[in-house]
Structure 1
Amino acid sequence: MAALAPFHFERPLWLLALIPAAALWLLTHRSADMLVRWRRVIDPALLPHLVDGETRPASIGPVNALALAWLLTIIAVAGPAWQREPSPFAQAKPPVAIVLKVTPSMLTQDLAPTRLDRARQKLADILSAREGASASLIAYSGSSHLVLPPTPDSAVVLDLAKSLSPEIMPREGDDLAGALALARRVLAGMDDAGSVLIMADTATPQAMPGHAGAGSAVTILSLSAPGSEAGGLPEIAKALDASLVATTVDQTDVAEIVRRLDRADQLGSVAGEGQHWREAGYWLTPLIALLALLWFRRGWVLP
């Protein structure tokens, strides 16, 4: 019985069609009863002995068969369901919203050739390791902007990332909070659970709202030289309940980020995201088909 605990109908309004079905069955069944007319003129005590039994309606007849078929069809269309299954449109890997900081500080050369160039290199490695997964690109400085909506084409993401520079950003500053909110809105429009990847060198913790930790999982790649201060990023990571990954000269940071981004699929499965209810109404179709075959019996539809 525990397996049927979440039983429900996906389209319960269809069950309202049972009302006219029941009313029609009662009216038709009553009019088909030949004894109804005789009860008006013959004493009820004598009626069973005077009326031929063949005038009694058959237990299984066109009216009853039609009513049963109608009942089963309505239940099937209403969509009975009690089990979940992965969505056929779910991706093999969860999507990611990439939030890239594009400010003059990202042109610092402590990470050769620059922090911004190193971010592009790491981004290329991450997308290559997650081939086929959708990625969106958001750039921010003093304001945040959607550069590219979710796409599985990593080449387009990288081409646009290479075109970004502090000179083209309309305003200087650090609008990480706005960029994060924009990234989560982008992910909210997708069927699968996803996560946010922030690529930045520094951040301003005071600009982050107190409720910023709610929402999609966040991973932060710290783009600062080993041993240098990642100004504000540890505080931001704590506020967002995010994972902070330091940039490495090898692929250690890439492997860690890919592992965390792929975990978003498991977290979404726990919450039921990326899944849908499996309807069981199709199991009733054989019974409906058998009832339909009864209409070919002699005396029903065919002479």
Structure 2
Amino acid sequence: MMGEVAQFHFLRPWWLVLALPALGLWWLQRREADTTARWRRVIDPVLLRHLTIGGDRRRWLSPENLLLVLWALGLLAVAGPTWRQLPSPFAQAARPAMFVVKVTPSMLERDLAPTRLDRARQKMADLLKLREGAPTGLVAYAGSAHLVLPPTPDAAALTTMTGALAPDLMPRQGDALGDAVTLAADTLRRGGQGGSVLVFADAAPTLAEGASGVPVTLYALHPPSREADPSIAAAAAVLHADVVDVTLDDADVGDLAHILATAGAPPPAPGEGVRWEEAGYWLTPLLALFALLWFRRGWVLA
């Protein structure tokens, strides 16, 4: 409820400027309708009350007051009050994702056959099949982070790039996970289509507190017979990330596909910005109800 209140705004707020002439006309109308105003200048007010019948009493339900209410309701309706976004009428576009792959000597360990890095490549290939057509990018990191490929729907290009990754190609040894996630998040933000980050790693360094601004998932590469390195859980807590453990079947790939398909806000349809549901038409029954009074005999002359 509070979120809807925070998003309340008008689609055409400039129409509300017409409230100023409405107030001016209402004030002039009331001044003209006050038949005793001219006599107050020459007759004592106490005496004038005894010389008039009902002249000093104003009815709240009068034509000029009701006209002001109708004008205000009409302006509110035309200004387009809204607080809720409309879903896209087109097929929902796939959310982009950035694959962040650790490329260090530890990823060549064979406890996850054939190697941890090769198993990551296999899982990425399976995941790309489930995400067919979804833009996917690639960041490789060791002691430094490097953008290999921005988000692209070309799965073959990304598969080729991941196949070429090797620890001896990295310019610096180490574990710059924080820099890699930041680079991936910045790449997604520049694309302006939303999306999330998926990290393939066997362990993680100690990270400083800080939010990436995009959803992050850590895919823990470890033998199914052993628990993930404790550093993975610690990094996930800092990054506010989900953790998915490797499995021998494709259950982990299905979980990752679901996370990437639902994490974060969906991108807008091509050529379409954010669309808001207009609520001004809910005021039209009130306008029609008040307008019925003008069909009452003698109302305008009241």
With the length of structure 2 as denominator, give the TM-score of the two structures: 0.60
Aligned-partner SS, 2:140: strand
Contact 1:25 1:64 in 2 (8 A): no
Corresponding residue number in structure 2 for 1:77: 79
Cα distance in structure 2, aligned partners of 1:115 and 1:5: 44
Cα distance in structure 2, aligned partners of 1:93 and 1:154: 14
Aligned-partner SS, 1:138: strand
Structure 1 gaps, min length 5: 50-57, 267-274, 293-303
**Pair 1:127–1:21, CA change in 2 (3 A):** farther
Corresponding residue number in structure 2 for 1:52: none
Corresponding residue number in structure 1 for 2:8: 10
Aligned-partner SS, 1:131: coil
**Pair 1:279–1:48, CA change in 2 (3 A):** same
Structure 2 gaps, min length 5: 55-60, 266-273, 292-302
Q: Can you list the C-alpha shifts for 1:134-155, whole angstroms capped at 9, x where unaligned? A: 4332221211133344455545
Specify the code of the residue in structure 2 equivalent to 1:180: V
Does residue 234 of structure 1 match 2:230?
Answer: yes
Superposition pairs for residues 112-151 of structure 1, below 5 Å? 115-151=116-152
Cα distance in structure 1, aligned partners of 2:102 and 2:2: 49
Report the Cα offset of residue 165 of structure 1: 4.4
Superposition pairs for residues 140-289 of structure 1, below 5 Å? 140-151=141-152, 154-162=155-163, 164-166=165-167, 168-185=169-186, 195-200=196-201, 202-206=202-206, 208-209=207-208, 216-222=215-221, 233-241=229-237, 242-246=242-246, 248=248, 250-262=249-261, 264=263, 278-284=277-283
Specify the code of the residue in structure 2 equivalent to 1:23: L
Specify the code of the residue in structure 2 equivalent to 1:129: L
Q: Can you list the C-alpha shifts for 1:94-138, whole angstroms capped at 9, x where unaligned? A: 553321123355456676665444423321211221335443322
Count the aligned residue pairs.
268
Corresponding residue number in structure 1 for 2:70: 68
**Pair 1:75–1:126, CA change in 2 (3 A):** same
Cα distance in structure 2, aligned partners of 1:289 and 1:152: 53
Q: CA RMSD in A?
A: 5.1
Does residue 33 of structure 1 match 2:33?
Answer: yes
**Pair 1:47–1:152, CA change in 2 (3 A):** farther
